[in-house]
Structure 1
């Protein structure tokens, strides 16, 4: 991915306080939406919606996609590139 694409994603993340907080909350860990929600003070369903958007942008990955509850999320290498600028 080139710098222009990275900076487009940085702008996308910075445009939303929620996206920024969620990426930072996950960090180098693996987390479930309810833990992220509790940590940053959002409702779990809102966190889940943002995670879906971040997944669509290849910034997070769900490790157990078939689980109905307790889905595990982690940041991708691309997310770590973006986080350098936040």
Structure 2
């Protein structure tokens, strides 16, 4: 377990809940906002932060709307640790 990354995710409910919501399947920011009941702007900022840390990635970067985001392998390991 990467303790630093795990700690960084746990320090924010936004990061933790959005990362967990990416476990099941790729989702759009709008889907994540609806699922978590967070503002879309907060979801977008959090996805950007998760991307910067290598925990989530956009798998349809060329789309203007409806971009799909998913957890990376590193992100999935954090998800597994969060669920223990």
TM-score (norm 2): 0.92
Q: Which runs of 5+ in 1 are unaligned?
A: none
In structure 2, the residue matched to 1:79 is 75
Q: Which runs of 5+ in 2 are unaligned?
A: none
In structure 2, the residue matched to 1:11 is 7
The one-character-per-residue Cα deviations of 1:42-68 (angstroms, maximum 9, x if unpaired) are 011110110001001110110111222
TM-score (norm 1): 0.90
Structure 2 Cα separation of the partners of residues 43 and 9 of structure 1: 24
CA RMSD of aligned residues (A): 0.9
Asked if 2 retains the 8 angstrom alpha-carbon contact of 1:28 and 1:74, the reply is no
In structure 2, the residue matched to 1:29 is 25
State the Cα distance separating 1:84 from its structure 2 match: 2.1
- Secondary structure of the 1:70 match is coil
State the Cα distance separating 1:28 from its structure 2 match: 3.2
